[in-house]
């Protein structure tokens, strides 16, 4: 039996999870290309990092987002044999429950929590290697941000989140929100990097609630943005 498999190992979060696993144990990276090769295989732990992260796309394509989130989760639960599943979700399952994106995230979580041994990890907003979209990239490119500038975000480095996940695989039948202990308002962050982005839209708070663990601090996003800005 292989110890761990990471489904969605080429994605933003999945890539970082795989990078951390390399230091720890034997694992398999599963992508769309090799998914069928591993169906019905047995693993000690499955890490599902294959959930989509496109909120505006979900709004405009609700049926496709349901397929990529809920139906995909159902398939994963039936296509593989495992002792435990770690399901990587989003705080949107709580913060944006009235949206297509958040609702589908919550439904997929509920499917996972019906298994005998699970861990649901809701991640907050992130930065780091491989980031190509979202409010941070919008601000770096001085593009319009479709949220209120007073929106509060608990940013963390995706690699920090990946390390937390791997170090807490022993948690059983829990739902944990993982992100920064604090937050920063988007308009204040924009000013710190001299972004000319305009903000327009509703408040979109992405704050971590259950701070039961020692988490990181959101101000570290500033170093990432300054470095990224120099590359543009």
Q: What is the pLDDT of residues 1-37, one digit of tens each?
A: 679 999 999 999 999 999 999 988 889 999 999 999 9
Asked if residue 175 lies in contact with residue 208, where contact means CB atoms within 8 angstroms, the answer is: no
What's the structural domain count of the chain? 1
Q: What is the DSSP letter of 209?
A: -
Residue burial 88-108, b: 16+ Cβ < 10 Å; e: rest? bbbbbbbbbeebbbbbbbbeb
Lowest mean pLDDT among 39-43, 54-58, 120-124, 167-171: 54-58
Residue burial 2-16, b: 16+ Cβ < 10 Å; e: rest? eebbbbbbbbbbbbb
Whether this prediction's pTM lies above 0.75 is answered by: yes
List the CATH number of the domain containing 8: 3.40.50.720
Quick one: residue 76, left, alpha or beta (phi over 0 = left, psi -120 to 50 = alpha)?
Answer: alpha
pLDDT tens-digit profile of 129-143? Answer: 999 989 999 999 999
Residue range of the domain that includes 153? 2-231
C-alpha to C-alpha distance for 164 and 115, rounded to whole angstroms:
22
How many Cβ atoms are within 10 Å of 211's Cβ, its own excluded?
Answer: 14
């Amino acid at each position: 039996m292989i110890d761990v498999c990471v489904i969605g190992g080429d994605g933003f979060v999945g890539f970082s999870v795989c990078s951390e696993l390399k230091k720890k144990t034997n694992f398999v990276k599963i992508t769309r290309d090799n998914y069928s090769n591993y169906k019905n295989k047995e693993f000690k732990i499955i890490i599902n990092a294959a959930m989509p992260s496109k909120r505006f796309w979900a709004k405009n394509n609700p049926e496709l987002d349901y397929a990529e989130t809920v139906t995909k989760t159902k398939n994963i639960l039936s296509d593989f044999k495992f002792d435990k599943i770690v399901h990587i979700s989003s705080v949107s399952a709580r913060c944006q429950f009235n949206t297509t994106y958040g609702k589908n995230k919550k439904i997929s979580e509920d499917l996972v929590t019906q298994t005998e041994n699970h861990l649901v990890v809701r991640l907050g907003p992130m930065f780091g290697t491989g980031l190509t979209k979202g409010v941070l990239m919008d601000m770096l490119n001085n593009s319009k941000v479709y949220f209120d500038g007073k929106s509060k975000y608990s940013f963390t480095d995706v690699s920090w989140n990946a390390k937390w996940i791997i170090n807490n695989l022993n948690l059983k039948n829990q739902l944990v929100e993982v992100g920064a202990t604090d937050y920063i308002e988007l308009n204040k962050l924009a000013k710190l990097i001299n972004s000319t982005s305009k903000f327009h839209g509703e408040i979109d708070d992405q704050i971590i609630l259950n701070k039961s663990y020692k988490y990181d601090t959101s101000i570290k996003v500033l170093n990432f943005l300054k470095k990224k800005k120099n590359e543009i």
